[in-house]
Structure 1
Amino acid sequence: MLTFKPITIEDKHMLDKYLCDYNFATSEYSFTNLLIWRKGCDIQYAIYENVLIMKKRDFKGKYHFMQPVGYNKENLKKVIETLKEYKKENDMEYLFKDVEKSFIEDLKDIYGDKACIKEDIDNFDYIYSSEKLISLSGKKLHGKKNHYNYFVKNYNYVVKDFSEPGVKKDCIKIAQKWHDENNTGYSYLTYELEGIKEILNYADKLNLKGMAVYVDNKISSFTIGECVSDDMAIVHIEKGIGDINGIYTFTNKTFVERYFSEVKYINREQDLGIEGLRKAKKSYHPIKLEEKYCVNV
């Protein structure tokens, strides 16, 4: 019997027991990510056979399961068969989404060709070399280096950690302003705004890193991320004032340089199939796209 409970900050200790032992390759299984989107995607969880089961709604309103966390080869088939029954009873389009390659292999070992697997291209994560984001070296990033240099030479700026007095409050103000100016039909942006406010409130408990850039003593950008393994950090949020030339390039480079210079890879999450976002993420020339899959059995 599966009984699901909405995720809240109080569940961090329990979910960490499962998530911290799982060396995930994408941003989906970070507790911070789950918390940001807990309302927008109606994220709920249950524990079955000592396995973490998470149910999630995509931006088209369709529910699915994320891949089980904490399973073993002995109980995986029982878990999946139970989820298949739940899927059938609740008329779910997909059994699993947000699935990583490692789970695909375990699934094939049990179901072989009966596992119907589809790439979820709009949700592939963009993975970058931290060294490249810091140095902006090479011909491909020459334009970004110019934007950075322009910003440094032409603006009176200060960088502040969001642990400093008043910075989190300023971040919420600019997040609200960015939302009001950019929310042209994307309802998920309203949920993102709620998520930003929540993670800023629990930044210490979530072990987040964050900074804001002030131009002429006025907040002009901010960014939030976390280190999730020895090799990878995730940038969850980045917002800025678009009419300040080079603000995003400066924020991106400075954030990685200050907080994640010892980490090999930076995950800047997916583009959701939004053309402008896709163009922006590609412009930094990722070293790879981390694949995610939709699955039915």
Structure 2
Amino acid sequence: MQTITLKISEITIDDKQIFDRYLRLSDLRVSELNFTNFFMWRDYYKISYSVVNDFLCIMSVMESGVPFCFFPIGDYKRIDELKCTLYIMREHFAEMGWNFVMKRVSTQQLSILETLGLCFKSGEDRDNFDYLYSVGSLSTLAGKKLDGKRNHINKFKKLYSFEYEKITASNIPDCKDILEKWCIQRNYTESDSLIAERKANLDLLENYESLELEGAIIKVDGVPQAFTIGEQLSSDTVVIHIEKANAEIHGLYPLINQQFLANQWSHMEYVNREQDLGLEGLRKAKLSYNPASFVEKYTVELC
């Protein structure tokens, strides 16, 4: 095979149009596969990208950890070009002295890989499964399984008054203040992951309008106490990027979750609330909202 030198670029805010064009072609429900996610986590995961055979190839080369790439993103009907792209990416990894590993590969992408006639092995990545919920269910909290969530919200409403506001440039400072208090409550300076999360969230807030996001703030008794931000992920699914609230106010998290979907996303069928990262408490919390299904993901290596 002829050696192809890849033009590898770091992500900047100006790349949104490029990413969006390819991501619309694939129409996947995977939480990572949107420009906002790649942009806000670009420094932590050391994200770079290259366009190969009109497929978007995204790589992560962290200082610690195994270099990996995402499954190429583009028009999956172009089977021959996709197969060639995978070979080129494998060759690039070999030239760098890395094992060719693809992570966060969805079930849909895995089935496409199976049609290419390539030898590969795959392993389930349960900690990174996305939780997919019915927007109708979480926006109304109807049904016995969500009794507890309704009760939390009803208790909140008895104790407090609240206002719901869409996020605009004028209240971004309120979001930053809520975020900072959330981080301080968790002693973020003692945790590398929380330091990275704080920076990713600030990068998103500082580029809120350029990223074309939707968000909301909840004021409790006149004071901003929670905010959430999301965007359309696929043709029928919204993804929630950030949800931060004062945990000392009982029922505030269920309230902002329900209000955001009811006010701004009722036209969508599903909401992707991302993964639990294998954290026991987070897994329990996400399961308590009665997910409709999971977006399964796999780690793949070509033979």
What TM-score do you get using the length of structure 2 for normalisation? 0.91
CA RMSD of aligned residues (A): 1.9
2:30 corresponding residue in structure 1? 26
2:60 paired with 1:56: yes
2:40 corresponding residue in structure 1? 36
Decide whether aligned partners of structure 1 residues 106 and 164 sit closer, same or farther in structure 2, where only a CA change above 3 A counts.
Answer: closer
1:145 corresponding residue in structure 2? 150
2:92 corresponding residue in structure 1? 86
- Contact 1:83–1:95 at 8 Å: present in 2 too? no
CA distance in 2, matches of 1:105, 1:151: 46
Decide whether aligned partners of structure 1 residues 67 and 35 sit closer, same or farther in structure 2, where only a CA change above 3 A counts.
Answer: same
Q: Which moved more, 1:32-41 or 1:77-86?
A: 77-86
Kindly, what percent of the aligned residue pairs are identical? 36
Cα offset, 1:131, TM superposition: 0.9
CA distance in 2, matches of 1:60, 1:233: 32
Cα offset, 1:79, TM superposition: 1.3
2:108 corresponding residue in structure 1? 102
Output the amino acid matched with 1:292. Answer: K
Cα offset, 1:180, TM superposition: 2.5
2:167 corresponding residue in structure 1? 162
2:138 corresponding residue in structure 1? 133
Which of 177, 184, 187 is the equivalent residue of 1:180?
Answer: 184
Cα offset, 1:94, TM superposition: 5.0
Could you tell me which runs of 5 or more consecutive residues in structure 1 were left unpaired when the two chains were aligned. Answer: none
Which of 277, 287, 296 is the equivalent residue of 1:282?
Answer: 287
Q: Which moved more, 1:244-253 or 1:178-187?
A: 178-187
1:212 corresponding residue in structure 2? 217
CA distance in 2, matches of 1:274, 1:197: 23
Matched length: 295
CA distance in 1, matches of 2:62, 2:300: 14
- Contact 1:59–1:188 at 8 Å: present in 2 too? no
CA distance in 2, matches of 1:115, 1:179: 42
1:67 corresponding residue in structure 2? 71
Output the amino acid matched with 1:36. Answer: M
Q: Which moved more, 1:276-285 or 1:89-98?
A: 89-98
Output the amino acid matched with 2:30. Answer: T
1:47 corresponding residue in structure 2? 51
In structure 1, the residue corresponding to 2:26 is in which secondary structure?
coil
CA distance in 1, matches of 2:123, 2:62: 16
Output the amino acid matched with 2:236. Answer: D
Output the amino acid matched with 2:206. Answer: N
Cα offset, 1:160, TM superposition: 1.6
CA distance in 2, matches of 1:92, 1:277: 33
